[in-house]
Structure 1
Amino acid sequence: MLPGISTEVVAGSKMADLVIAGSGVIGLSVAFELLQSPGLQPARIHIIAQHFPGEEPISHEFTSPWAGAHFRPFPHRPESFGADRRESGYTRVTYKRMKTIAAEHPESTIEFMKGADYLEQPPSEYDGMSPGYNKDSLENFREIPKGELPPNVKSGFEYTTYCLNAPEYLGFLQRQVTALCKAKGVELCFKRMTLRSLAQVYEVVPSCDVIFNCTGLGLQLDGSYDPSCFAIRGQTLLLDVPHKTKFAAATVTHQGRDGNWTFVIKRPPVGGKPAQYILGGTKQPGDNCVTPRDMDSHAIMERARALYPELLCESEFSVARVNVGFRPARNGGSRVELESASPGPVIHAYGLGGMGYETSLGVAEHCLRIYRGLKCQRSKAKL
């Protein structure tokens, strides 16, 4: 039994067994939204994963606990317009749901605040009017006047966004899924294992009705991984900042002329502890080094020393931990679709890269629309 997890069986009359492969933010969000969707509750939900929230030490194979995390919108780029539009749509659904969750569950750690982007050499789509990045699609969006911009920054924008404490939010989702299952008479089964293939799910759960494939890099039925997927190494610093700072109410991202992104993301506090801050970071596709690199940390701190001196503690950064995580990205953007194949249907939901939290509930909503459609097709086929 996993720490803090009840596996008590509560009798129910539902018929289907559903399997969610993966216990990161996408997998847990699918379970969370499923349990609040009328007509979709199964008899049992099986969550199969190699790692689960709350484990220490955190495995580098488990991406979600390492995240910042915040919502940072972006304009749709000409070279990836379709994928950007799709992902942006997921973020807007998630944004609305996050507002509701924050109001109903303060323990979720979701905090709404100001977001700011500063760009030293902005791409042409950062004009304040492009799809996905304008006053019509973002709350309190405005272009920052030139006189308010930091040195060397050519353009900047502000909007309302949110931050959350990634490990705590994962734990919140896990607890909510457990409580909702108990309340609705759904049996919840956590199984720790490394799947050789998605087809193996049907050996473990022969009564499986459908698999939600939330495996990040896209494990397939035949045991291969989606060839379009790849990992992006990210190294960040978790900072203790005991004094008051403007970043308690704002998250800031700065893009330098050299292309480096330097960001500050609040990790809202729990249990009376002070807030911490994620300072990042690196974006290193194809780099599989799990060990923190001093060179990367020093580069991040040198940029931040000039950009965010408010985070310094007596002229130095108080680094609580160096994080190394691997964002599960995919060429062409995320894959959220139904695959009808033997031995059974799969609803894929992976390849979100570094956007797992900000797209999570939107992806879950899309998955459940697919599942509802699948159930309707089956009902019609029986007539």
Structure 2
Amino acid sequence: MPDSVVIVGAGVIGLTIAHQLLLDIQCQSSGRLKKLTFISRNYPNDKPLTHEYTSPWAGAHFRPFPHRQETYESDRRESGYTRVTYRFFQQYAAEHPESTIEFMKGVDWLENPSSEYLGLGPGLSKDSLTDLRTLSKRELPSGVHYGCEYLTWCLNAPVYLKFLQSQVEQLCLRLNIPLQFSRVNLTSLQDIEKWFGDTNVIFNATGTGLQYSGGYDPKSFNIRGQTLLLNVPEPNSIRYANTTITHQGNDGLWTFVIKRPAVNGNPQYILGGTKQLDDDLIVPREADTQALLSRGRKLFPDLVFPDGSFDIVRVNVGFRPARQGGSRIELETSPNNGLKVVHAYGFGGMGYEVSVGAAQHAIRLYKSKPSRL
């Protein structure tokens, strides 16, 4: 019997689950769907976009990291998701340049590197990264004590989300699967059974983890991020047109520059960013903007126009949905009616990096035997 699937959340995780599921069906490795329904308060083509919808505001690039001892298991799992995504993007970027996925050099500069970085531990080693190279001292800027480079990717987050939704729509038409986008305001996953009574599979991609009986995962929390979208001088030939750079200072602050590839016209660039816990300010904070500009002027001078100014297109504020102990990808079932719920949330600022790997894991669980809710 074909399944009636609901995906809750239309950020990068929810859309990628739908996309990977439909590609799987197209390859005839899984059964057909009776219908596919999205439930979300926000969608990629909404205008204006809200701060609640984190995915469009992302810098969206791949940055590897060594597994930390205190979070080794979750780091290993999530790092594995990033490698699956990486491999998928390598093929998909060539087939779909309109996706804006673009491969280029990634560079890390750390003023106070941990032992995991210095030792090239799991997650930051040549066995899972392409073209990984430790930089020599003469290649490092002043104050930086460790640097490396590797092959990375970046993409234009809002354009990519619209592309993903379009791919989902086209695949549903091709496979003759009814597709619905709904804006029902859920207070629990259980509400889905009231509004969509024939549902037998739910993918829970709600970011902070809406629960079956109501409320949100108590382990979930938001990390406020503020970044700047910039026009820059010489946007197609500037150094950052082919290189993303991430810098960590002795003060623990991260500063990065990431290209936003353009389908038509000139690319723009993201200068970031902040990672602020217990901060729910939804509007831009001028002090954060000025701090970013100050660091950017010193670290990435090519972003500055000859008259010493920055051309700020927009100040972005978003809330990365993180979770204590790492993300949750888990399958449960209702003892009452056998309803399957596949949880896939809590990825923090790694949504794009883990998207395909996490989606494929969630789909494998959907096909397996669940535990009980």
TM-score norm. by structure 1 comes to 0.93
Instruction: State the match for 1:321 in structure 2.
Output: 314
SS in 2 for 1:206: coil
Instruction: State the match for 1:353 in structure 2.
Output: 348
SS in 2 for 1:208: coil
- Cα offsets for 1:26-65 (capped at 9, x unmatched): 0000000000112243110001100100212111111100
Instruction: State the match for 1:268 in structure 2.
Output: 261
Matches within 5 A, 1:210-225: 210-225=201-216
How many residue pairs are counted as aligned between the two chains?
362
Instruction: State the match for 1:248 in structure 2.
Output: 241
Instruction: State the match for 1:281 in structure 2.
Output: 273
Does the alignment pair 1:113 with 2:104?
yes
SS in 2 for 1:373: coil
Matches within 5 A, 1:27-46: 27-37=14-24, 38-46=29-37
Matches within 5 A, 1:300-315: 300-313=292-305, 314-315=307-308
Does the alignment pair 1:257 with 2:257?
no
Does the alignment pair 1:167 with 2:158?
yes
SS in 2 for 1:183: helix
Given candidates 63, 66, 75, the residue that maps to 2:66 is: 75
- Cα offsets for 1:167-190 (capped at 9, x unmatched): 000001000000000001111111
Letter in 1 for 2:343: H
Moved more, 38-47 or 94-103: 38-47
Letter in 1 for 2:11: G
Which consecutive unaligned segments of at least 5 residues does structure 2 have?
Answer: none
Does the alignment pair 1:370 with 2:362?
no
Q: Tell me if the contact between 1:210 and 1:346 (Cα under 8 Å) persists in the aligned partners.
A: yes
Q: Tell me if the contact between 1:128 and 1:143 (Cα under 8 Å) persists in the aligned partners.
A: no
Instruction: State the match for 1:22 in structure 2.
Output: 9
Which consecutive unaligned segments of at least 5 residues does structure 1 have?
Answer: 1-13, 378-383
- Deviation of 1:211 after TM superposition, in Å, equals 0.3
- Deviation of 1:15 after TM superposition, in Å, equals 2.3
- Deviation of 1:230 after TM superposition, in Å, equals 0.1
Letter in 2 for 1:334: S
Q: Tell me if the contact between 2:206 and 2:345 (Cα under 8 Å) persists in the aligned partners.
A: yes
Letter in 2 for 1:319: I
Matches within 5 A, 1:67-216: 67-216=58-207
Given candidates 43, 47, 70, the residue that maps to 1:52 is: 43
- Deviation of 1:129 after TM superposition, in Å, equals 2.2
Root-mean-square deviation (CA, aligned residues, Å) is 1.2
- Deviation of 1:242 after TM superposition, in Å, equals 3.6
Instruction: State the match for 1:5 in structure 2.
Output: none
CA distance in 2, matches of 1:250, 1:218: 34
CA distance in 1, matches of 2:139, 2:15: 41
SS in 1 for 2:147: strand
Instruction: State the match for 1:10 in structure 2.
Output: none
SS in 1 for 2:120: coil
Q: Tell me if the contact between 1:68 and 1:166 (Cα under 8 Å) persists in the aligned partners.
A: yes
CA distance in 1, matches of 2:31, 2:274: 40
- Deviation of 1:196 after TM superposition, in Å, equals 1.1
Does the alignment pair 1:298 with 2:290?
yes
CA distance in 2, matches of 1:94, 1:190: 25
- Deviation of 1:374 after TM superposition, in Å, equals 3.8
Letter in 2 for 1:309: P
CA distance in 1, matches of 2:32, 2:300: 48
CA distance in 2, matches of 1:326, 1:258: 22
Letter in 1 for 2:14: G
Letter in 1 for 2:133: R
Letter in 2 for 1:306: K
- Deviation of 1:128 after TM superposition, in Å, equals 4.8
Given candidates 65, 90, 94, the residue that maps to 2:56 is: 65
